Amino acid sequence: MEEKKIQKRWQKTPLLRPKIRKVTVDISVGQSGEPLEKAGKALEQLTGQKPVKRKAKKTIRDFGIRKGEPIACLVTLRKEGAMEFLAKALQAVDNKISKDCFDNRGNFSFGIKEHIEIPGTKYLPEFGIFGMNISVALGRAGYRVKERRRTRSSIGTNHSLTIEEAMVFTKDTLGVEIV
């Protein structure tokens, strides 16, 4: 669909307008111990939330990773906190995202090579520099039916979010240029 058709459809039926459900920020260090602790502190400084550690799913001898060893930290942001962080993180990539960053469900992800590229972040030598992945989950009103515990149901194809709609939403709401 064209951009104008999509916007008319959202004006006619406001519940079809997408919204940001959550923003997930993760730093994968690849080893436990002091580097992971530093990454966790840097992530907490950026987001204002305490990160959760993630463990390795399998052993990879070449990289010195054992199954069950914590190797990454992750933060999930929702509502206003997600919008604030996302606005800063998109400035780090010059408000440009490739169209390849979008998946079939309308979500998108991008990476930042150095966390100090985010505006307002100061370099602290005791933390170091870390890269991070940022994943944004988009949805519509009614998406809860596929995630709730009781009487879980699937979402119809007419109500599911398309790539084109997600791109129009990110252009309008976040001011992102899609390359």
- Which sequence spans correspond to the domains of the chain? 3-178
Say what angle helices 79-92 and 34-47 make with each other, to 10 degrees: 110
Beta strand residue intervals within 29-115, DSSP E:
52-55, 70-77, 96-97, 108-112
**Segment among 17-21, 22-26, 121-125 with least mean pLDDT:** 121-125
pTM: 0.86
Superfamily of domain 3-178: Ribosomal protein L5 (3.30.1440.10)
Residue 102: partners with Cβ closer than 8 Å, 6 or more residues away: 108, 163, 166, 167
* Closest among 175, 107, 163 to 138, alpha carbons compared: 107
Q: Which residue in the block uniquely carries the two structure tokens 């923003």? A: 23
Tens digit of each residue's pLDDT (9 = 90 or more) over 99-145: 899 998 889 999 999 888 888 888 888 878 888 999 999 999 888 88
Dmax (CA) for the chain in angstroms is 56
Q: Kindly state the percentage of the chain with pLDDT values over 90.
A: 29
**Segment among 53-57, 63-67, 77-81, 137-141 with least mean pLDDT:** 63-67
Q: What's the CA gap between 76 and 131, in Å, rounded?
A: 17
Tell me what percent of the chain is helix, strand and coil, each rounded to the nearest 5: 35, 25, 40
For all residues of the chain together, what is the average pLDDT? 88
pLDDT for residue 73: 92
Q: What's the CA gap between 128 and 114, in Å, rounded?
A: 10
Q: How confident is the model at residue 158 (pLDDT cuts 50, 70, 90)?
A: confident
pLDDT for residue 1: 59
72 backbone dihedrals φ, ψ, rounded to 5° = -150, 160
Q: Which of 19-23, 42-46, 61-65, 152-156 has the highest mean pLDDT?
A: 19-23
Beta strand residue intervals within 66-154, DSSP E:
70-77, 96-97, 108-112, 132-139
Residues facing residue 27 across a β-bridge = 73
